Amino acid sequence: MNLLEKLRKIKERFDQVNEELSDPANQSNREKVINLSRERINLTEIVSAYENYRQLLSNIEGNKEIIDTSSDKELTDLANAELKELISKKESMEEEIKILLIPKDPNDDKNVIMEIRAGTGGEEAALFAGDLFRMYTRYAEVRGWRVELVDISETGLGGIKEVVLSVTGERVFSDLKYESGVHRVQRVPETEGSGRVHTSAATVAVLPEVEDVQIDINPSELKIDVFRSGGAGGQNVNKVETAIRITHLPTGLVVQCQDERSQLKNRQKAMKVLRARLFDIKVKQQNDEMSAKRKNMVGSGDRSDKIRTYNFPQNRVTDHRIGLTLYNLANIIEGDLSELVEQLKLADRTDKLQANAELER
């Protein structure tokens, strides 16, 4: 199927989606309306490109007709000059359209639940988990996103055993989804007297937030415990039972939230995390079923993979998935992730373009 035919079929589907959205019979089906609206948004840019591309092809044919039929030399010279520009524009437009035709990740526009856990390395790993927490929080501030703490377990020396946070804003998952995996740090710990470099690790999980309609949770399958919050937080937080722990009995998943003073707000936050984790399990099962297909290089999200090394003595950050090394660790650890994110997006897009080209051969 050539490019123009692909675009025609997408335009047909776009028109069909508009008809279904206008059909009163569908208005009572909330899930269907949400899915159709999202599909329409995703198709709009491609359909706009199709209209521009079709007009460009028409202009090319018009210039060719003038060249073939006109006896006016001045007019044919102008048509020839314009034709070269139009053909060049056509080639660049086709490349742009190929990028637009890469299947969109349906989760890209979603907010995320981010979980950071200290891995191997004892207290140094906990300190590194705290560094990552601050790095992502500062990056979120730069992007204008909102960060809400869901749960945190700190160590006595200022490190973090585990932290769960909610990040909301524009296309959060699109930027943060590549952060899932094992992050490794190489540096001299403050407690190391001999100056020897230690290697420690922390894991990051980035889960898209999901709506109730995507994950059906049976209330009878939940065990909910209420308890008093621990740590700092004021008299009310520590004396009143506001903290929530939810256990999903079929899977054994346990989620807790004690950050809010309100039991209801803690419960809402905990349910948000539970839905995200259950959705993550569901997606992994679907991916396992499709494991025979080519796996995307960058966006696999396998948290057992070592994805990045932060080497403090050399001020170096290396992303092992794409072989990228940057010598500005000091800025990156302070939240300047823009170059890393853009390079990962570019590698992901290139990989998918190559995969599409192989399928078309």
How many angstroms separate the Cα of 57 from the Cα of each of 51, 116, 154, 284?
10, 51, 62, 43
CATH of 3-100, picked from 1.20.1740, 1.20.58, 3.60.21, 3.40.50, is 1.20.58
Tokens for 357?
A: 């080209």
Which pLDDT score, from 0 to 100, does residue 296 have? 47
**Whole-model pTM?**
0.74
Contact indicator for 153, 165 with CB cutoff of 8 Å: no
Burial profile 36-46: b = 16 or more Cβ within 10 angstroms, e = fewer: beebbebbeeb
- Would you tell me the crossing angle of helices 73-100 and 3-22 to the nearest 10 degrees? 60
Domain positions in the chain are 3-100, 112-209+320-360, 219-288
Instruction: Look up residue 159 and give its DSSP letter.
Output: -
The mean pLDDT value for 199-221 works out to: 86
pLDDT mean across residues, the chain: 87
Model confidence over 37-59: pLDDT tens digits? Answer: 988 988 999 999 999 999 999 99
Q: How confident is the model at residue 83 (pLDDT cuts 50, 70, 90)?
A: very high
Torsions phi, psi for 19 (to 5 deg): -65, -45
| Number of CB atoms found within 10 A of residue 107's CB | 19
| Number of CB atoms found within 10 A of residue 319's CB | 19
Model confidence over 136-161: pLDDT tens digits? Answer: 999 999 999 999 999 899 987 889 99
Which pLDDT score, from 0 to 100, does residue 284 have? 79
Grouping H, G, I as helix, E, B as strand and the rest as coil, residue 295 is coil
The DSSP result for 301-320, as a single string, is: --TTSEEEEEETTTTEEEET
Model confidence over 240-286: pLDDT tens digits? Answer: 678 899 999 999 999 999 877 788 889 989 998 999 999 888 887 76
> May I ask the CATH class of domain 112-209+320-360?
alpha beta
The DSSP result for 187-229, as a single string, is: E--TT-SS---EEEEEEEEEEE---TTTS---GGGEEEEEE--
Grouping H, G, I as helix, E, B as strand and the rest as coil, residue 9 is helix
Burial profile 134-155: b = 16 or more Cβ within 10 angstroms, e = fewer: ebbbbbbeebebebebbbbbbb
- CA 18 to CA 41: how far, in whole Å? 11
CATH of 219-288, picked from 3.90.1150.10, 3.30.160.20, 3.30.70.1400, 3.30.360.10, is 3.30.160.20
- CA 258 to CA 269: how far, in whole Å? 9
